Amino acid sequence: MRIVIAGAGGIGLHLARLLSSANHDIVLIDVVKDVLDYAQQHLDVHTIVGDASSIEVLQEAGIAKTSIFLAVTTRENDNIVSCILAKKLGAKQTIARIVNVANIRSEFKSTFYDLGVDKIISPSLLASQEIVRLIQLTQVTDSFDFENNTISLIGIRLDEPSKYIGRSIDEIKLDKKTDYSPIAILRSDKTILPRNNTILRKGDHLYFIMHKSEIEPFLEKVGLKSRNIKSIMFLGGSVIALEAARRLEYDYNITIVEESEKGCKVLTNELNNTLIIKGDPSNFELLKEEGLLGMDVLVAVTPNSETNIITSLLANNSGVFKTIASVENLDYTHISQNIGVDTIINKKIIAANNIFRYVRKGKVEAIASLHGVDGEVIEFVIDTDSKLTKLPLRKLKLPEQAIIGVVLRDKDLIIPTGDFIFQVNDKVIVLALTEAIVDIENLFR
């Protein structure tokens, strides 16, 4: 598949790295030669120095033969214009990154589509939605929704006094109505696909899929009791903080600490029930003076990953119940949760999740990437032409580096055994490690 990416910044480079490893034909366009030189040295991609909103540059990129055109620069107008031109020049599908969240409103989508922009995404808006989910379910480290918010993938960390520590997977699958087998384990920086004899350890991050209505009873049985959240402090007045606060400010006491005067004015104009404090988010003494130690949740979303991580660690050590930190450096996602930050969010990963459902082979409903886990959770639909309905699961040659989490059949959630046979319209949620993704895609084509 030929994929052209406009913008070799954080999101564009991350997408290029993931897509090139899956043997796609990738063209990367940017106006900055240095970032393209880096990409060419480290990735199997073709690069073009230039402006993607130029017809000449798009033609040089072979846009007429392009399956997907991704415009993910930080310049919204350039993204929209380049998508319009790419569509007119023959690109089959176009996706634009949007900065102005107001443009995401559903009534505008048809306008963009008529112009030639098939899909629009806002990494900041997606990140804010993830933060809201995590605050509403405080016991989990990760939360992703499937099937119109009826099915959830959640992550938990095993700490004392969890009854799971020291037990095997087989031992915890005693009551299928309330106990579930994890689909993945993150142990330090190693991803483990759980087997029946896998012994769970303190500090393991476990990932489960279940009906949303069963999450609270499950967490209580595991030993993770809910907490009544009242007060939340955001560090940094970014779009992420603004959009999350907009959704939360009438249900919680919200404080935002923002350093710039301009940023404070924007927040004051946009929010109605949120306390805005002008100050340095990295100044821990200031944060304590402004009530940090009385907060239930700290959400650190400044542009500086190190500030977000360090402040979250200090807050954790000072008794703040839950910390959420935004990081830009992907390397930090492997270490931050292991050193005390409850939850890490990364806009690059979140944007890739949203985009990849249009790139992956097979009929893909949704994709989730777990922070620190070397793989993807993909929801496939069994189509009428699928060969998977002809044999039981044990004979389908599933890669060893993949595991089927659950099958959704109508409203039933099924944990399949070796004798299970897929039916047309089944929705299958699979965790595949990076090296198995291509094989899984081919299996579900």
Give the single-character DSSP code of 128.
H
Cβ–Cβ under 8 Å, residues 6 and 16: no
Q: Provide the pLDDT for residue 178.
A: 45
Q: Is the dihedral of CA 269, 270, 273, 275 positive or negative?
A: negative
Cis peptide before 161 (omega within 30 of 0): yes
| Burial class, 335, CB count within 10 angstroms (exposed 0-12 / middle 13-18 / buried 19+) | middle
Q: Provide the pLDDT for residue 119.
A: 92
Cβ–Cβ under 8 Å, residues 154 and 206: no
d(CA 389, CA 340) in angstroms, rounded, equals 45
The 10 Å Cβ neighbour count of residue 66 is 23
The 10s digit of each residue's pLDDT in 322-340 is 999 999 876 676 665 566 6
- Walk along the chain (445 residues) and give the pLDDT tens digit of each residue: 899 999 998 889 988 987 887 778 999 999 999 999 999 999 999 999 999 999 999 999 999 999 999 999 999 999 999 999 999 999 999 999 998 887 777 778 889 999 999 999 999 999 999 899 889 888 888 888 888 778 889 999 888 777 788 888 888 765 444 457 788 998 877 889 988 889 999 888 899 998 888 888 888 877 787 788 999 999 999 999 999 999 999 999 999 999 999 999 999 999 999 999 999 999 999 999 999 999 999 999 999 999 999 999 999 999 999 999 999 876 676 665 566 688 888 888 888 878 877 777 667 778 887 777 778 888 899 988 888 999 999 998 889 899 998 899 988 888 888 899 999 999 999 999 888 888 888 888 7
Number of H helices and E strands in the chain, helices first, is 14, 22
pTM: 0.82
The 10s digit of each residue's pLDDT in 38-94 is 999 999 999 999 999 999 999 999 999 999 999 999 999 999 999 999 999 999 999
Domains of the chain in sequence order? 2-121 (3.40.50.720), 140-222 (3.30.70.1450), 230-350 (3.40.50.720), 374-443 (3.30.70.1450)
Cβ–Cβ under 8 Å, residues 36 and 118: no
The 10s digit of each residue's pLDDT in 260-269 is 999 999 999 9
